Amino acid sequence: MVDDGSTDGTAGVVTARPKSGLHCRLIRNDRNRGKGYSVRRGALEAIGKYLLVSDADLSTPIEEVDRLFSPVEKEGYAMAIASRALPDSRIEVRQGWIRERMGKLFNGIIQVVTGLPFHDTQCGFKLMDREKALPIFELCRIDRFCYDVELIYLMLRAGMRVAEVPVHWRNSYPSRVRMGRDSARMLFDAFRIVAIHSRRRSESGN
């Protein structure tokens, strides 16, 4: 678990938990560094064959991981991303109307800017083949919410396959995402992703 400089007691729940057969290591950032930074740090320090990224609020119930295993484990996909926007997705508690519409608008812009074909890049539940994902994480530079877009973008550019999987999802209140400022940052970062990695490819000649 990566604690990104939180003040809400989440880290204390981990340190106070009774010992069990589960191995859980708490990684603490010295200050708030952003979701992308924290996910990247956790991924690079994790062990095991698979990497599962899950938001602490469990808006996507942990049991939904079974849906993601099939494409990664059996079909050779590098990553399976949970989606709230597919016909078979089941939304138990929806976001507010404005936030939901903003999310759809943002994803539409992401598709135009990056060329990504997915309906929902921002759901905080993703399963990866660790061996395939680690070299991609080492290339990532986005430290905040748009890290998902960069990760998927780089995997596709590397010739890897990414599956979008419908899941059961319920909105968890309150969200830490501020629609105005954070949405603007995310759009700015989407353009940065294309610019940074297009320049890198040009400089490397690949």
pLDDT at residue 179, rounded to an integer: 56
The reported pTM is: 0.86
In a domain, 10, yes or no: no
48-59 tens-digit pLDDT: 899 999 988 889
pLDDT band of residue 62 (cuts 50, 70, 90) is very high
Task: Tell me if 23 is assigned to some domain.
Answer: no
- The reply to whether 34 falls in a domain is no
DSSP alpha helices (H): ranges in the chain? 10-16, 35-45, 65-69, 97-114, 130-137, 147-157, 179-204
Give me the CATH number covering residue 136: 3.90.550.10
State the residue range of the domain holding 78: 50-204
Q: In this structure, how many other beta carbons lie within 10 angstroms of the beta carbon of residue 16?
A: 8
Q: Judge contact between 144 and 36, C-beta under 8 A.
A: yes
pLDDT digits (tens, 9 = 90+) for 114-143: 999 999 998 999 999 999 999 999 999 999
Q: Specify if 1 maps to a domain.
A: no
Q: Predicted confidence band at 184 (pLDDT cuts at 50, 70, 90)? A: confident
User: Could you give the CA distance from residue 136 to residue 40 in angstroms, rounded to a whole number?
Assistant: 10
Contacts with 115 (C-beta within 8 Å, 6 or more apart), sequence order: none
